[in-house]
Amino acid sequence: MLEVRQLEFAYTADEPRMHFELAVAEGEVLSLIGPSGSGKSTLLNLIAGFLEQQGGSILLDGIAIDALPVEARPVSIVFQQYNLFPHLDVHTNVALGIDPALHHSAAQAKAVDGALDRLGLAGLERRKPGELSGGQQQRVALARVLVRRRKILLLDEAFAALGPAQRAEMIGLVRQLVEEQRMAALLVSHQPRDALIASARTAFVSDGRIVTLQDTRRLLDETQLVEVREYLGSI
C-alpha cells in the first residue's frame, strides 16, 4: 500500500510549501479532485520522482521509495497526451514498457500480445498512434502499464479528452486492472463524476494541501465545506 507522509514541496523559496498526507490501499483507486493549480499534478510528479520533495517521505508497503531514481520507482504514469511515441507502432510502444532496449524473450513478447488483447487492441499492433482514436491511444498506454507490472499507477487527467461513455468505460477498465494486479492507484480528474465511478474514497485538494479525504458520495453530495461546494458548483 502507498503512503505519503508529511510530504512537503514548493517550486520556489518564496512560495508557501505544499503539504500532502494520504494512504492508498492495494487494489484501490483514490481520486483527487480540486481546482486547477491546487497541486494535484504536483503530487503525482512527486510520487513518480519527476520532482524532489523538500520534506516527508513516500512509502510503498512500508519501504521508502522517495530516494529512488525515477526509473527505479515502482510507478507507472499515464498522461493526458503524449503518452506514445508517434513514430513507433503500437506494439513497440507497449514493448518499451518491458525493456527500453526492446530486447525481449519469447515470454515477454507474449506478454505484450496478451496485454494488447486484454485491452481490446488485437489487430492494431502495427498501426501508428496517429492512426488511432483518442480512446485507443489511451488503451495502448494502459497496455504498457499492464506489461510493466508496477505497484503504483498514476493517472494525470488521462481521460479528459474522451467522451462520457468512453471515459466511464476506461475508468471501469482501470478499476479492473488495479484490482487484478493489486496496484495502488491515484486518479486525477476534473470531472467529479469520474470520481464517483472510479473510487470509493476521494480527496479534495486545494491550495497545496488535502482539504478532506472521505467517502466519494458523501463528499460530492453532502459536504458542508465551503471550498468544496464552491468547486462543485451545482451538480
Cell matching residue 218: 458523501
Eight-state DSSP code of residue 208 = T
Nearer to other proteins, 45 or 212 (CB): 45
Please give, one letter per residue, the 3-state secondary structure of 33-99: ECCCCCCHHHHHHHHHCCCCCCEEEEEECCEECCCCCHHHCCEEEECCCCCCCCCCCHHHHHHCCCC
3-class secondary-structure state, position 142: helix
Closer CB to other proteins, residue 44 or residue 210?
A: 44
Binding site for other proteins (CB under 8 A): 48-52, 70-73, 75-77, 79, 81-83, 85-88, 96-97, 100-101, 128-130
What are residue 186's phi and psi, to 5 degrees? -120, 130
Distance CA 39, CA 197 (A): 22
Comparison of 92 and 223: residue with beta carbon closer to other proteins: 92
Q: At what angle do helices 134-148 and 164-181 cross, to 10 degrees?
A: 10
| CB of 10 vs other proteins, minimal distance in Å | 16
Q: Which is nearer to other proteins, 129 or 208 (CB)?
A: 129
| Shortest distance in whole angstroms from residue 230 CB to other proteins | 31
Please state the closest distance from residue 11 (CB atom) to other proteins, in A: 12
**Which residue in 15, 16, 32, 39 sits closest to 209, CA to CA?**
39
Q: How far is the CB of 219 from other proteins (least distance, A)?
A: 29
Nearer to other proteins, 102 or 122 (CB): 102
- Kindly state the smallest distance separating residue 47's Cβ from other proteins, in Å: 11
